[in-house]
Amino acid sequence: RGVSQAHAAASVGPSVSMRAPCHVQLRILAGAWLLCAPTQAAPPLPSAAGCAGGICDVRAFGAHGDGKAVDTHAVRAAAAALAALEHGGVLLFPGGSSGVPAVYRTAPINLTSNGVLRVEAGATVLGNSADKEDPCD
């Protein structure tokens, strides 16, 4: 009686919102699960298609190499794609351009057999010994 639609919908069931920078938000409203848009783009899926001629360039998998972005998801996706190649290949960290060095921030990766790690001139890979998402934390 005299209850607005918005108030009625809000009072039907609990509303739960989980907020974290890299997670998907879930809400329970009126007994239904709603999947909201992720708060950050999903990491690229491993695919040998990103490896041209057996060279898996981490930038083709979304690495920025700007020293600010954490490139762990892209680097791990490139390493997984390299592992899927039948005859192995190269995991490439390309150098910078226009005299600006490339700096890749990543947690540890697993380079499988038949994989070669190549860091070009003008590129730096920052990592750590702990399995942390951001090596600079």
Say whether both 68 and 92 belong to one domain. yes
Say whether both 52 and 118 belong to one domain. yes
| Coil vs helix vs strand at 58 | helix
Say whether both 29 and 70 belong to one domain. no
Say whether both 73 and 11 belong to one domain. no
Say whether both 15 and 68 belong to one domain. no
Say whether both 59 and 89 belong to one domain. yes
- Give the pLDDT of residue 112: 83
- Give the pLDDT of residue 129: 67
Say whether both 19 and 68 belong to one domain. no
Which residues 6+ apart lie within 8 Å of 89 measured at CB?
A: 51, 54, 55, 56, 82, 114, 115, 116
Distances (CA, A) of 24 to 12, 20, 73, 95: 23, 8, 16, 33
How many structural domains are present in the chain? 2
- Chunked into runs of 10 residues, the chain (137 residues) has average pLDDT values of 47 41 38 42 56 94 95 94 92 93 93 90 87 62
Question: Has residue 117 been placed in a domain?
Answer: yes
- What pTM was computed for the model? 0.62
- Give the pLDDT of residue 18: 40
Say whether both 30 and 77 belong to one domain. no
Say whether both 108 and 52 belong to one domain. yes
Burial 101-121 (b: 16+ CB within 10 A, else e): ebbbbbbebeeeeebeeeeee
Question: Has residue 112 been placed in a domain?
Answer: yes
Domain that holds residue 82: 48-126
Question: Has residue 132 been placed in a domain?
Answer: no
- Give the pLDDT of residue 10: 44
- Give the pLDDT of residue 130: 66
Question: Has residue 54 been placed in a domain?
Answer: yes
Tokens of 92: 């490439």
Question: Has residue 133 been placed in a domain?
Answer: no
- Give the pLDDT of residue 123: 97
Q: How far apart are CA 34 and CA 14, in angstroms?
A: 13
Question: Has residue 90 been placed in a domain?
Answer: yes
CB 27 within 8 A of CB 36: yes
- Give the pLDDT of residue 135: 59
Question: Has residue 12 been placed in a domain?
Answer: yes
- Give the pLDDT of residue 43: 47
Q: How far apart are CA 84 and CA 34, in angstroms?
A: 35
CB 110 within 8 A of CB 75: no
- Give the pLDDT of residue 50: 79
Tokens of 105: 């921030």
